[in-house]
Each structure stands twice: as structure tokens, then as C-alpha cells.
Amino acid sequence: MIEIESYYAKTFQGPYLNINEDDILVDLENRLFAVFDGFGGGSVGDAAVDLAKEKIGSFFSKVSVDPDATMPYFFSPNYLLETNCLINALEIAHAGLIANNKNRPMSERAGVSCLVGIVSDNILSLASTGNCAGFLYRGNRVSVISPPDSITPIGSIENNMTNRTFPLSALGLFDSLMPKVWEMSVRKGDKICLFTDGVYSRLSVDDIKTIIESTITDELSIVKRLFSVSNDRGNLDNQSAIVISL
């Protein structure tokens, strides 16, 4: 089994906003990591993120106690059990947000972008909806492993993706949820990075590589530098990042 050597996770309201509609989830027992980006405004988007985080965390707590727990929404033999759990966790959170939005006026409805990952043995499973993004640093190279579902894909413009990263999908947004799902092999020495758009929207893949390589192996310093560079380039959004070293 690939060991998680170290990690650092941080969520921050950013340099401009007074309310943080982002959040993070770290469950080392289940080797589960997630970043969330809510929208809908103060006391709405942040509450939606709280609901999504609770639903996802509680589902994995249940599965860890009872490995034979029913997958209520989805099961495919083509995916690992852990990947099926990720999909079901997103579906459960989505159903909760849809129900919460149902009788609210449009101005009080909220949605949540979410990227959830789990490391099992030597496989990284990812499930995503919305504008969060995942990156892998391996052998002096950074690759996009979970692109955001937004109007402009990463790498198509230089550095600044501001106003182009609004989500085209999200928890609670549409009746049907169609999460993007990936399974990939990981190995010792890899770094897995999960970001909300307040981190990546003003950074290129080369920027992320340079920051990782210039901060030695300290995940805290990597995250601080990512936030700092993004903010120096004009970011005004909330920011969440998780950097995991294997």
C-alpha cells in the first residue's frame, strides 16, 4: 500500500471577501480528501458547503463501519469499491442540496462545486462536479488529472482564468448529477494537489510546477506560496487547497 507521507490543507476567505464559501475535508482514517466551493451568497453558499461536507463525511463514516453498506444511487463493477463510494457520496450530497433548494426562491438557492479523492492501495480515485481542479506532480512534471467543468479549460489561456471558471455543473444545481470520475495509479514521490478556482485560476501548470519545486518538500510552504502568487495577480475569491505527498 502507498503511504501518505504528509499533507497540508487550508481554506481561506481570500484577500477581499468577508465570508468563506470554500471548505476542505480530510479523513485520514479513510484516506479521503475533498475541496468545496459554494456559491449563492453569504449565509447561503457557505451553508450549502456545510451540508455537502457533512453528507459526504457521514457516508464514508458509515461505510468504514459497515463495508457491506448499500450503495443507494450507483454501483459499477468497472470501478473500485472506493470509487463507487465517492460517486454515491456526491449523489447523497446532491440530493440533500436539491431538497434544500426546492422550496426556496431563486435568490436563496445555492450550489457547491466539489472534488473528492481517496487513495486506496496504489490507486487514486477522484470524483468531481463543478470548477474545482486536481493536479499531479510527478518526476518534475505537473499534469491536470481532474479538469474543472467550466467555460474555459486549464491551459487554453495564459494565467488568468478569472470570470471564466464559473461552474457548468455542481451539487444542487440540476436535477441530475453527472460527476466526472477518474482512477489512476500513484506511486511513492507523487504529490496530489486539489484546488478551488481561487487558487488555480491565475496560475498556469508551469507556475504550479515552479512553486512546488521552489519550496522543497514542505506542503505548508507550497500552499502559502500558491495563495500568495494567485493573490498578487489579482485573485479576490475564496481559496482552498490540499497538497498530499506520497
Structure confidence by residue, pLDDT tens digits, 144-179: 999 999 876 665 444 555 566 778 899 998 999 999
Q: What is the pLDDT of residue 161?
A: 55
More confident residue, 151 or 114: 114
Residues forming beta bridges with residue 239, ordered by sequence position: 12
Q: What is the pLDDT of residue 29?
A: 93
Query: Does a structural domain hold residue 1?
Result: no
Please list the alpha-helical segments (H only) found in 30-104: 45-65, 81-101
The C-alpha cell that represents 109 in the structure block: 438557492
Tell me if 33 sits within 8 A of 124, measured CB to CB.
no
Average pLDDT estimate for 12-25 = 95
| Domain limits for position 165 | 6-245
Q: What is the pLDDT of residue 63?
A: 83
Confidence bin at 66 (pLDDT 50/70/90): confident
Average pLDDT estimate for 212-239 = 92
Query: Does a structural domain hold residue 202?
Result: yes
Count the neighbouring beta carbons within 10 Å of the beta carbon of residue 166: 15
Tell me if 233 sits within 8 A of 225, measured CB to CB.
no
Query: Could you give the angle at which helices 205-214 and 219-232 cross, rounded to 10 degrees?
Result: 140
Q: What is the pLDDT of residue 216?
A: 66
Q: What is the spatial order of strands in the sheet that 239-245 belongs to?
A: 6-12, 239-245, 191-195, 133-138, 141-146
* Closest among 123, 241, 102 to 182, alpha carbons compared: 123
Q: What is the pLDDT of residue 154?
A: 65
Alpha-carbon span 159 to 229, nearest angstrom: 11
Q: What is the pLDDT of residue 1?
A: 85
Query: Does a structural domain hold residue 160?
Result: yes
Q: What is the pLDDT of residue 156?
A: 45
* Closest among 3, 22, 5, 16 to 217, alpha carbons compared: 5
Query: Does a structural domain hold residue 200?
Result: yes
Alpha-carbon span 16 to 7, nearest angstrom: 27
Average pLDDT estimate for 177-189 = 96
The C-alpha cell that represents 207 in the structure block: 507556475
- Which residue is it, cell 459499477? 76
CATH number reported for the structural domain that contains residue 157 in this entry: 3.60.40.10
Query: Does a structural domain hold residue 71?
Result: yes
Give me the number of domains the chain comprises: 1
* Closest among 211, 220, 217 to 190, alpha carbons compared: 217
Query: Does a structural domain hold residue 51?
Result: yes
- Which residue is it, cell 488529472? 145
* Closest among 170, 177, 175 to 99, alpha carbons compared: 175
Does position 42 have pLDDT exceeding 80, yes or no?
no
